[in-house]
Structure 1
């Protein structure tokens, strides 16, 4: 299937999940990029979110921050 001249394929945004990690004393937040096996652990939620911003670079991204019970308590988009 080809695209018409001038049409561009939509680029999916990067999606990151920031989740608490139970049982690790010094690193309590997991940063996971969806559709990859990549996981990084950070001491604070702020460090994990900053790493997501850095990894996204100039690409659009969606960040989801989860609470200890698993529900998403904050979501936002980067453009």
Structure 2
């Protein structure tokens, strides 16, 4: 006798950190995807957050925006 199980694969969300940095060409915001070495610099926090949304596309994600002193001042999930 076989039993059919409705198994759902658990998908861990990607975590993106948006941090202020001193960058080249006045690019002041760094977008870093956790567990990677990828860092991309942007002129504004809005551009960095938009890039995180685009990279995540339909994958679950969590975005953390950091202040100059390093603390997280805003966090939210993408569905």
TM-score by length of 2: 0.88
How many residue pairs match? The answer is 76
CA root-mean-square deviation: 1.4
Q: Which has the larger radius of gyration?
A: 2
The residue aligned with 1:56 is 56
Which residue of 2 is the match for residue 10 of structure 1? 10
Deviation at 1:26, TM superposition (A): 1.2
| Shift >2 Å, 4+ stretches | 22-25
Point out where structure 1 has 5 or more consecutive residues left out of the alignment.
none
Task: Give the gaps of 5 or more residues in structure 2.
Answer: none
Distance 1:65 1:13 in 2: 16
